[in-house]
Each structure stands twice: as C-alpha cells, then as structure tokens.
Structure 1
Amino acid sequence: MFDKMLQRIWVTVEKLLEYAQVIKMLGNGRLEALCFDGVKRLCHIRGKLRKKVWINTSDIILIGLRDYQDNKADVILKYNADEARSLKAYGELPEHAKINETDTFGPGDDDEIQFDDIGDDDEDIDDI
C-alpha cells in the first residue's frame, strides 16, 4: 500500500518537473528555456535563486511546470557543467543536449598567466 502511494507521488512529481536549457535571458527574473520535451517556455526565476545563483544562456536548469499554464514555468535549480554531464551520462538528458563549458574554472585555474612589473622607476608628480 505504501509503495503504491510513493509510486503515485513520484509519477506526479515526474509530471510537474522538466529539464530545460536556457535560450535567452529576458531580465526582471525571467528567461526563455527550451525544455527537453520540445516545448519553449517562459520561466520565472524564483526568489531563492535570484542574486544567489547566476543563470546564463545555454545553462541546464530544472523547472517546475504549472498545471494551469503550459507555456510558463518556474526555475527550481541550476546545474553546473559537471552535474549536467552526470545527468547526461545517466540518460536523464538527451544526447543532443549541449552542456555549457563556461563555469569549469576553479581555484588555481589561471591558465599560467604571469604579469611582469615593468614600471619600477618612480616619477615625481611635479615633473609631469
């Protein structure tokens, strides 16, 4: 009995959640996303994510569908590139999904850039 109830809840959750890829940032906490079910939706970034999680074009996100508005949804979660690769490996994302590579930088990733200090001679401000 309990297993059937959990299974029914899981089916309901599956119907209300969808993976999507950000197409365009619209501003004012809104974005346009192409869901992997083939529908383009206008998504609202909820308050918990605003100014804490920065979402960019081509990011993979999890959205909550609205049962009363099929063309609108709410952004629930943003996946980083590693999480998106894992989802793709598990078969949750389709093979044609392109994963954003812009957020792969971590601490210490400076691409071996070195700066030279070439301005050693101090100029007197009165000489200028």
Structure 2
Amino acid sequence: MPKNKGKGGKNRKRGKNEADDEKRELVFKEDGQEYAQVARMLGNGRCEAQCIDGTMRLCHIRGKMHKKVWIAAGDIVLVGLRDYQDDKADVILKYMNDEARLLKAYGEIPDHVRLNEGVVDEDDAAAHDDYIQFQDEDIDKI
C-alpha cells in the first residue's frame, strides 16, 4: 500500500483566516470608485448593490475575494466603476462593521444608509411583545 505524502484534503484550508482580528488601515474611495450597500446576492460571484450615488449596479466579486471574503446582503463594499458599462461594477473591498461605522462618522456614507448592526426587524420586535400577564386570582384558579 502506498504511503500518504500529502498534507490532507481540502478541509485543511478552513482555518487560514486567523489574521482577520488585527486592525487594518481604513481605505477611502478614489476616482472611479464608489461606496455601495449590497442589496442581494445573485450567486456565481455576483451581487446587486445600491451605490451611494443612487444607482443600482450589478457587481462582480473579484477573484482575490471569491470564497475568501464572505459578502452578505446589507454589507458596505467599495466598488470600482466601469467606464464602458455604467450599470455594472466590480467589488474591490468589503468593509467590516466597525470600518463602516467609521465611514459613516467621517461623513463618507450618508446618514440615511442603515448599517447591519442594530437593525431590528418590526416583526421580531412585535413577536417579543406577545406575552400574557395573569392576575393573582387567575393563577389561583389554575
């Protein structure tokens, strides 16, 4: 029987992103770039994002980020605009929650944009208020 010489299967790669906790420098937009909030994920490395300038764009996640940086609906991203296609863009960078709060504090992102953390769904808030309060005489009857 041959001896195993490899380092294991594909599952050994799962613990690689341990350096995410360290702080990185905040990246601001440049010419040809725009901040956007992901509206929905489409699959195949694409998403639909609402840019700060008011345009809904179809965005392509770059290969360096694909399957390494997970993007979900509601995340703030930096997109690179295309000169030849105004309705399409490329996702360059995903901002973490604290970085998105800093961008909002610096005035880069307008106040009407709602960030992911602290968003309370109206249905969930109403579900927590559904309780029955018994009087003392009701408890005695039970």
TM-score by length of 1: 0.68
1:123 corresponds to = none
How many Å apart are 1:100 and its aligned residue? Answer: 1.3
RMSD: 1.3
The C-alpha deviation readout for 1:74-94, integer Å capped at 9, x for no partner, is 000000110000000000000
Q: Please state if 1:75 is matched with 2:91.
A: yes
Match for 2:35: what amino acid?
Y
Deviation per CA, 1:55-107, whole angstroms, max 9, x where unpaired? 000000000000000000000000011000000000000001111128xxxxx
What does residue 69 of structure 2 align with? Answer: 53
Report sequence identity in percent: 69
Match of 1:66 in 2: 82
Q: Structure 2: any 5+ residue segments left out of the alignment?
A: 1-28, 119-142
For structure 1, the residue ranges without an aligned partner over 5 or more in a row are 1-12, 103-128
For each residue in 1:8-29, what CA deviation from the matched residue of structure 2 results, as whole angstroms up to 9, or x when unmatched?
xxxxx73300000000100000
TM-score, length-scaled by structure 2:
0.61
Select 1:33's aligned residue among 38, 42, 49.
Answer: 49
Letter in 2 for 1:69: Q
Q: Which residue of 1 aligns with 2:113?
A: 97
Q: Distance in 1 between matches of 2:32 and 2:100?
A: 20
